[in-house]
């Protein structure tokens, strides 16, 4: 650095984003952001992607962030531009995804006057951001950008909003530009290294456990702890389960992997959690989809909880040993201490535990009670669609999903061996996330296969982004698992409301998705029979340079199982429509 330039606020903003390493912005222009958009036009370092709705911009930036680990960047205008972005900001907040959202604001002298397109963005976004900034003095723009990226990416990551009144970016006022090398926020100090005494307590508990389970979540992915987690379990030889957010942080095809746990987790994962004597929670937060009834959760287990966020530990389930720090660093410390005590660690003692788990696995594995007859006498099962997609893509695709039954089928039947490949809205459960998130992933990795597994309900919530996909030539594969109903809502209505399908079907009003895809310039393929399924999916994936919208009609009566019995322990599950554990 050291070079001082005279720049306008808008030019400083673009220059600062470039100096921060930003390559891509997802956004939508409007009055209060026009000075910034002019600055975008006059530079060539950063690409701007024009979406069709601000929600699409935030989800695309989110997908980009989840796949790359780098913060996603969004630019929107004031008022409706800002409010449209809120759902995507909340989605990123619930899943701790680093994101910086820049919103235009009406000029300073108009704030508070109910000016055209004025809204209190800082106020509206406050509960769903990690932090936010208003630019009161254009000279502060470089410093605020530096701080915003630091806050968004450090500690427990999350979205940060920067609200910029229009006069702060005016072209006629120039400022000395210098980008700070380091953010210095005196009141902010996220933990990195764990305390050694906690590590020693954790290792002692690990050494004495006979029925340990590793339970790893999205925090382990955020901390890029794949290698460390794998190395730890090469020593421990413990069964391991991942949350919906954690899928891929441990290879799903590994023999120690139990599958996902929780609401729609596998039989063996939930049984192992319930019967464990030690749970090693790694970057996971014991949310209600995991614990079910907290007072009945894993009655005999001691809990070791590794997390970067103090407030996530002992919030729902009391931790016996709390290890605060970056999960990666905490795992490294545990491995080091364990290696110094290797004589005390005998993984052979876990043999009875492994045989018990093998028994659970074979009695109610995931394919339990799925059809064996794939003739056209049967409707296509949604699980089979995911299995075929998994086989065709050799398990190596980036898979985004929306929310509902198709999301759970994707999580259960696409086996992720690497982190950051499974991109879904776990915490907020945002329908409409899948397609724009897939765009973000495709921009980050143009040569990789990107699949959006969605449903006819979710896809219609952000379907306008098909137009963006055409503009930027994004050959995503959209697998629309079409059961002509809001499947998960319907499943709950079947199970808990006497089969009264209140407002969960569309009365034959669905669009012709094939024509719809074609009118956006893409290819549409319809699949209605089992005999067409494999071949038509292969055809879709063979069109490398086309976005293909595959509309697969599946059995509308299918439910997602296993499913935890409401408000009970993890060992009580529905295994099929008429069978409980």
Partner 1 sequence: MIKRKLIMIMENKPGALVRVVGLFHQRGYNIETLHVDPVTDFSRYKFIEEKLETKFKENEISRLTITTFVSDSLMRQILRQLNKLIDVIAVSNEETTYLKGVLLDENLL
Contact status: 132 vs partner 1 (CB under 8 A): yes
Contact status: 377 vs partner 1 (CB under 8 A): no
Q: What does the block give as tokens for 363? A: 């009695």
Residue for token pair 């931790």: 319
Q: Which is nearer to partner 1, 315 or 418 (CB)?
A: 315
Q: What gap in Å lies between CA 411 and CA 424, rounded to an integer?
A: 9
Contact status: 126 vs partner 1 (CB under 8 A): yes
The verdict on whether 116 is a catalytic residue reads yes
Contact status: 191 vs partner 1 (CB under 8 A): yes
Contact status: 18 vs partner 1 (CB under 8 A): no
Contact status: 223 vs partner 1 (CB under 8 A): no
CB 130 within 8 A of CB 149: no
Q: Which alpha helices (H) appear in 78-180, and where do they start and end? A: 80-94, 121-125, 141-153
Q: DSSP label at 454?
A: E
Contact status: 189 vs partner 1 (CB under 8 A): yes
Kindly indicate which of the ranges 72-80, 123-131, 338-346, 357-365 contains the residues binding partner 1, using the contact rule CB under 8 A: 123-131
The verdict on whether 326 is a catalytic residue reads no
CB of 343 to partner 1, least distance (A): 34
Q: Which is nearer to partner 1, 185 or 566 (CB)?
A: 185
CA 504 to chain centre: 25
Binding partner 1 (rule: CB under 8 A), the pick from 43, 83, 139, 314 is 314
Q: What gap in Å lies between CA 79 and CA 518, rounded to an integer?
A: 33
Residues 6+ apart with CB under 8 A from 535: none
Q: Which alpha helices (H) appear in 267-348, and where do they start and end? A: 267-275, 288-291, 327-340
Contact status: 186 vs partner 1 (CB under 8 A): yes
The verdict on whether 528 is a catalytic residue reads no
The verdict on whether 234 is a catalytic residue reads no
Q: Which is nearer to partner 1, 127 or 499 (CB)?
A: 127
User: Looking at the DSSP assignment, which residues form a beta bridge with residue 307?
Assistant: 324
CB of 282 to partner 1, least distance (A): 19
Give the SS3 label for residue 333. Answer: helix
**Closest to 431 measured CA to CA, from 402, 409, 410:** 402
Contact status: 237 vs partner 1 (CB under 8 A): no
CB of 122 to partner 1, least distance (A): 6
The verdict on whether 117 is a catalytic residue reads yes
CB 442 within 8 A of CB 25: no
Q: Label the pairing between strands 5-8 and 24-27.
A: unpaired
CB of 151 to partner 1, least distance (A): 6
**DSSP per residue, 16-64:** HHHHTT--EEEE---GGGHHHHHHHHT--SSEEEE-SSHHHHHHHHHHH
Binding track, positions 51-90, relative to partner 1; x by CB under 8 A? ----------------------------------------
Residues 140-159 that bind partner 1 (CB under 8 A): 151
Contact status: 123 vs partner 1 (CB under 8 A): yes
CA 117 to chain centre: 31
Binding partner 1 (rule: CB under 8 A), the pick from 178, 277, 309, 320 is 309
Q: Which is nearer to partner 1, 131 or 289 (CB)?
A: 131
Q: What gap in Å lies between CA 388 and CA 266, rounded to an integer?
A: 20
Active-site residue among 431, 461, 488, 563?
488
Binding site for partner 1 (CB under 8 A): 122-123, 126-127, 130-132, 134, 136, 151, 185-191, 309-311, 314-315
Active-site residue numbers?
54, 116-117, 166, 488
């Amino acid at each position: 650095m050291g070079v001082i330039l005279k720049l306008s606020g808008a030019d400083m903003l673009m220059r600062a984003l470039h100096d921060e390493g930003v390559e891509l912005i997802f956004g939508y222009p409007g009055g209060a952001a026009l000075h910034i958009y002019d600055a975008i036009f006059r530079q060539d370092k950063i690409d701007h992607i024009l979406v069709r709705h601000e929600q699409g911009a935030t989800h695309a930036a989110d997908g980009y962030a989840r796949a790359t680990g780098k913060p996603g960047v969004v630019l929107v205008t004031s008022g409706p531009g800002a409010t449209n972005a809120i759902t995507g900001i909340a989605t990123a907040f619930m899943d701790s995804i680093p994101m910086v959202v820049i919103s235009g604001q009406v000029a300073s002298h108009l704030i508070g006057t109910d000016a055209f397109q004025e809204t209190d963005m800082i106020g509206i976004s406050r509960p769903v951001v990690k932090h936010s900034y208003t630019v009161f003095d254009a000279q502060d723009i470089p410093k605020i950008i530096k701080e915003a990226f630091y806050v968004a990416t450090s500690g427990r990551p999350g979205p940060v909003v920067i609200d910029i009144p229009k006069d702060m970016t005016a072209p006629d006022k120039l400022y000395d530009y210098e980008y700070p090398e380091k953010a210095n926020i005196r009141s902010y100090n996220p933990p990195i290294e764990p305390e050694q005494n906690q590590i020693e307590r954790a290792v002692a508990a690990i050494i004495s456990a006979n029925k340990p389970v590793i339970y790893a979540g999205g925090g382990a992915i955020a901390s890029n702890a794949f290698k460390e987690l794998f190395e730890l379990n090469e020593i421990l030889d413990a069964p391991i389960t991942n949350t919906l957010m954690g899928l891929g942080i441990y290879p799903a095809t590994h023999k120690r992997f139990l599958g996902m746990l929780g609401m729609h987790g596998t039989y063996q994962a939930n049984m192992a959690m319930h019967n464990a004597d030690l749970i090693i929670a790694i970057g996971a937060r014991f949310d209600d989809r995991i614990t079910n009834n907290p007072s009945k959760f894993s009655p005999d287990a001691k809990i070791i909880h590794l997390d970067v966020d103090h407030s996530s530990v002992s919030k729902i389930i009391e931790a016996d040993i709390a290890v605060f720090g970056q999960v990666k660093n905490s795992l490294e410390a545990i491995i080091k201490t364990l290696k110094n005590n290797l004589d005390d660690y005998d993984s052979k003692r876990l043999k009875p535990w492994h045989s018990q788990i093998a028994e659970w696995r074979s009695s109610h594995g995931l394919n339990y009670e799925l059809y064996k007859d794939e003739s056209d006498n049967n409707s296509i099962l949604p699980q089979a669609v995911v299995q075929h997609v998994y086989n065709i893509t050799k398990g190596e695709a980036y898979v985004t999903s929306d929310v509902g039954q198709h999301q759970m089928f994707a999580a259960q039947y696409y086996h992720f061996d690497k982190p950051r490949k499974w991109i879904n809205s776990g915490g907020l459960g945002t329908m409409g996330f899948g397609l724009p998130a897939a765009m973000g992933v495709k921009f980050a990795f143009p040569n990789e296969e990107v699949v959006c597994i969605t449903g006819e309900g979710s896809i219609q919530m952000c379907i306008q982004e098909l137009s963006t996909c055409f503009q930027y030539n994004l050959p995503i594969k959209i697998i629309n698992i079409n059961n002509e109903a809001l499947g998960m809502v319907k499943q709950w209505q079947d199970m808990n409301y006497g089969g009264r399908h209140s407002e969960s079907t569309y009365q034959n009003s669905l669009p012709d998705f094939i024509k719809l895809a074609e009118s956006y310039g893409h290819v549409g393929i319809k699949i209605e029979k089992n005999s067409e399924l494999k071949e038509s999916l292969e055809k879709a994936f063979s069109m490398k340079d086309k976005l293909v919208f595959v509309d697969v009609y599946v059995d509308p009566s299918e439910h997602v199982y296993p499913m935890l019995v409401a408000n009970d322990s993890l060992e009580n599950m529905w295994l099929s429509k008429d069978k409980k554990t």
